């Protein structure tokens, strides 16, 4: 989550719901009642909060109380006494298939979104990481890319931010087929800036005037192009899902995919994409069956591939 989102959760939910309770008097029961209220009528205009939003409120409150303990304002955090800790209902991740991806790329050919789309599909970069990419982050000789910053909207302002975690700051090997496209884009960008009387570009993707791209406008433009392409609806973030799911289905080790995605832990990758790994249990059962057959002196069954 961004700083703006953290602030919004505190102002919209935590302060109105718990702000009148003294810190020392806050206990698990009070937090349970607060969560129950959020589930039923936590929205400003009626209705309950989504499971994801309530989970984020819980995470934020947990961090606040942990800070209070660290500052010795509380002996222990009452969050451990909560009986109804919110858990988000994860939506099944759906991604474009290869035919749909081909149709989208064909539609985007010649459009300024073409190269950012190729980059996201080829690397799994997040939207902000794509928009924050600088030319000196790309080593064309080694064919690598460094993720060092991100473009986010904070308080209505477009800002450059540090990567979310240490693992988000990473170096990726680029597919060989992507490098010529990036080289061509750099040449076209340089020619355009020369005609406009602008200096050398720092960011790989900018507005014609050289300004940082607005992430919200970027996503809205991408969504319109997806609709125009006539393919299944997907967000720009869906390209990241496409990259990760393709690697997992291709048999790449989870820890390798997790590092490429910039996830804080491999368990996050497994939790989000485990439904894509169907069939492995059948193979595991075959291996166990063969082990038992060998132990019993029977002939093993040929393993399916």
Domains and CATH numbers, the chain: 3-81 (1.10.150.130), 98-246 (1.10.443.10)
Taking every pair of C-alpha atoms in the chain, what is the biggest distance, in angstroms?
80
* Sign of the four-CA dihedral 250, 171, 219, 179: negative
Reduced to 3 states (helix: H, G, I; strand: E, B; else coil), residue 304 is: coil
For residues 237-254, give the mean pLDDT: 91
**Across-strand partners of 203?**
134
Work out the pLDDT band at 278, boundaries 50, 70, 90.
low
Burial of 12 (0-12, 13-18, 19+ CB in 10 A): middle
Pair of tokens at residue 256: 């390798």
Work out the pLDDT band at 279, boundaries 50, 70, 90.
low
Alpha carbon distance 173, 142 (integer Å): 8
Q: What is the pLDDT of residues 8-22, one digit of tens each?
A: 888 889 999 999 999
- Is the Cβ–Cβ distance between 153 and 212 less than 8 Å? no
The dihedrals phi and psi of 111, each to the nearest 5 degrees, come to -90, 150
Query: Which range scores top for mean pLDDT: 71-75, 144-148, 191-195?
Result: 144-148
- Is the Cβ–Cβ distance between 258 and 273 less than 8 Å? no
If one compares 228 and 208, the residue with the highest pLDDT of the two is 228
Alpha carbon distance 231, 104 (integer Å): 7
The dihedrals phi and psi of 112, each to the nearest 5 degrees, come to -65, -15
What was the pLDDT predicted at 213?
96
Alpha carbon distance 238, 94 (integer Å): 8
**Across-strand partners of 138?**
145
Work out the pLDDT band at 2, boundaries 50, 70, 90.
low
Work out the pLDDT band at 282, boundaries 50, 70, 90.
low
- Tokens 């790309």 label which residue? 138
Per DSSP, the residues of 172-210 read: EEPPTTHHHHHHHHHHHHHHHHHHTT----SBSS--TTS
pLDDT exceeds 80 at position 88: no
Q: Of the candidates 87, 130, 121, which has an alpha carbon nearest to the alpha carbon of residue 102? A: 121
């Amino acid at each position: 989550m961004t700083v703006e989102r953290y602030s919004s959760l505190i102002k919209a939910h935590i302060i109105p719901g718990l702000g009148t309770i003294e810190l020392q008097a806050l206990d698990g029961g009070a937090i349970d009642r607060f969560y129950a209220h959020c589930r039923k009528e936590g929205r400003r205009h009626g209705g309950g909060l989504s499971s994801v939003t309530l989970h984020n409120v819980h995470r934020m409150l947990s961090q606040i109380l942990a800070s209070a303990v660290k500052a010795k304002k509380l002996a222990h955090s009452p969050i451990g006494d909560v009986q109804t800790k919110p858990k988000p209902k994860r939506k099944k991740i759906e991604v474009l298939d290869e035919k749909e991806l081909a149709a989208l790329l064909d539609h985007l050919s010649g459009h300024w979104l073409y190269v950012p789309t190729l980059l996201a599909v080829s690397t799994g970069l997040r939207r902000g990481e794509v928009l924050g990419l600088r030319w000196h982050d790309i080593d064309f000789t080694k064919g690598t890319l460094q993720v060092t910053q991100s473009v986010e909207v904070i308080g209505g302002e477009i800002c450059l931010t540090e990567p979310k975690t240490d693992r988000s700051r990473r170096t990726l090997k680029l597919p060989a087929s992507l490098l010529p496209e990036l080289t061509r884009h750099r040449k076209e960008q340089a020619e355009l800036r020369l005609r406009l009387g602008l200096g050398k570009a720092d960011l790989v993707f900018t507005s014609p005037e050289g300004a940082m791209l607005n992430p919200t406008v970027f996503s809205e433009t991408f969504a319109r192009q997806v609709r125009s392409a006539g393919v299944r609806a997907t967000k720009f973030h869906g390209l990241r899902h496409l990259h990760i799911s393709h690697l997992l289905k291709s048999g790449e080790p989870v820890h390798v995919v997790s590092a490429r995605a910039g996830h804080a832990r491999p368990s996050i990758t497994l939790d989000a994409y485990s439904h894509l790994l169907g069939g492995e249990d059948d193979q595991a059962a075959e291996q166990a069956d063969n082990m038992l057959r060998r132990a019993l002196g029977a002939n093993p069954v040929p393993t399916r591939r």
